[in-house]
């Protein structure tokens, strides 16, 4: 992964953290004031799923791939998996806020789990080629 792509992924992670913070603030606002069109429970589900997939997992993936890059072990599949994770994260954010636990949000959530497993298998396979 080149430095430009690493920088982009870190910036996306910080942007995602900002979204998590804004939704958290909105949820606290909704406790005391009426905010039509948004269900508190749906907002909570969207916030929690996006916090873990869009921020925590995204930054972990980025840092793990950066470590491999320092060891001169890199596979372009990792970029695709990071983008797939982001797609799942934003899909969960939007669909959970709109419908709560429904077909679309569960589909994005399941796809996120599959992407995580594929990333883990690819990562451990890449670690085997690391020099002792």
- CA nearest to 68, candidates 131, 12, 117: 131
Per DSSP, the residues of 49-85 read HHIIIIIIIHHHHHHHHHHHHHTT---THHHHHHHHH
**According to the model, what pLDDT value does residue 71 have?**
86
- Cα 53 to Cα 79: distance, rounded to the nearest angstrom: 15
49-84: per-residue pLDDT in tens?
999 999 999 999 999 999 998 888 878 899 999 999
**According to the model, what pLDDT value does residue 76 have?**
85
Handedness of CA 70, 12, 51, 76 (dihedral sign): negative
**According to the model, what pLDDT value does residue 73 have?**
84
- Cα 48 to Cα 92: distance, rounded to the nearest angstrom: 10
**According to the model, what pLDDT value does residue 101 have?**
94
Question: Along the 132 residues of the chain, how does pLDDT read in single tens digits?
Answer: 788 999 999 999 999 999 999 999 998 988 888 878 888 899 999 999 999 999 999 999 999 999 998 888 878 899 999 999 999 999 999 999 999 999 999 999 999 999 999 999 999 999 988 776
**According to the model, what pLDDT value does residue 24 have?**
94
- Cα 102 to Cα 113: distance, rounded to the nearest angstrom: 17
**According to the model, what pLDDT value does residue 129 have?**
83
- Cα 82 to Cα 11: distance, rounded to the nearest angstrom: 13
- CA nearest to 9, candidates 71, 70, 86: 86
End-to-end CA distance of the chain: 22
Q: Is the model's pTM score more than 0.85?
A: yes
Q: Hey, what CATH class is 3-128 in?
A: mainly alpha
């Amino acid at each position: 992964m080149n430095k430009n792509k690493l920088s982009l992924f870190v910036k996306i992670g910080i942007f995602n953290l900002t979204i998590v913070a804004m939704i958290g603030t909105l949820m606290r606002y909704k406790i005391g004031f009426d905010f039509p069109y948004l269900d508190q429970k749906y907002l909570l589900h969207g916030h929690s799923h996006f916090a873990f997939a869009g921020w925590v997992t995204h930054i972990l993936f980025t840092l793990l791939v950066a470590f491999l890059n320092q060891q001169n072990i890199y596979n372009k599949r990792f970029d695709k998996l990071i983008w797939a994770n982001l797609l799942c994260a934003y899909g969960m954010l939007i669909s959970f806020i709109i419908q709560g636990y429904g077909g679309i949000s569960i589909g994005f959530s399941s796809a996120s789990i599959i992407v995580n497993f594929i990333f883990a298998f690819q990562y451990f396979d890449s670690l085997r080629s690391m020099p002792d």
